[in-house]
Amino acid sequence: MSVLSSLVEALATGAVEVVDLTAPLHEDTPILMLPEPFGNTWRFEREEISRYDDRGPGWYWNNFRTGEHTGTHFDAPVHWVTGQGLDDVSQVPPARLVGPAAVLDVTARVAENPDFLLEVDDVRAWEAEHGALPVGGWLLLRTGWDARAHDQAEILNADENGPHTPGVSVECARWLAAEAPILGVGVETVGTDAGGAFAFDPAFPCHSMLLGAGKYGLTQLQNLARLPATGAVVVASPLPIRGGSGSPARVLAFVER
């Protein structure tokens, strides 16, 4: 039996489960909110064209508009100034949209401190237990933040000092960009950086360093609790928008049961 035939059989029998890591996209999908004078992304908006009526008796369809970085989405390198001149979302090689996943569970620590930052030592401790980060794979940071995905205020968790959401430290972002064998980082928050990352030096280190290194970001993921620490395979499917800095994406994981 060929490899692909084996996969098809495993999917049919349930030996391999497909887990959807995508938050459904709708008009109330939370978005990142930047302070003035910076521009902000559009929310998801939809306009009905016809619905089995005189505008089109046999079909239902809609127009929609939204930002490239709304909802569960893919960050291409060109999204950040450090990645200008690198791949836009249509230029990302298809083979780099599929890769093994390393799931780092820090939910208990985030419950105690919403400003939690992942450090290199945390990754090293995970590697000591589970093995090295996968070559050409994703580091998925499980924080439990997907429980807040239904509400704009809860997912941003902001006060007068700004948002308080977990993320990655400057040193860890630098290490993940320059030394780790991964192709990108996936998170449950609205962006790959921590809520307080605007005040880091440099600001927004995940965006600046990983995208500048030709790596990628996935955001607003769900159901990471259904993935093992190792062994899952992630498929990220952004729209190949020519010149696009990113795209809403359907992100799936294959999990052997």
List, by residue number, the catalytic residues: 79
d(CA 83, CA 199): 21
Q: CA–CA distance from 234 to each of 73, 186, 199 (Å)?
A: 14, 10, 32
CA–CA–CA angle 231, 237, 242 (5° rounding): 145
One-character DSSP codes across 184-218: EEE-SSSSSS-TTGGGSSSSSHIIIIIIHTT-EEE
C-alpha dihedral, 242 to 248 to 249 to 250, nearest 10°: -140
d(CA 216, CA 77): 6
200-234 per-residue burial string, b: 16 or more CB within 10 A, e: under 16: beeebbbbbbbbbbbbbbbbbbbbbeebebbbbbb
Asked if residue 173 lies in contact with residue 209, where contact means CB atoms within 8 angstroms, the answer is: yes
| 91 CA to centre of own chain | 18
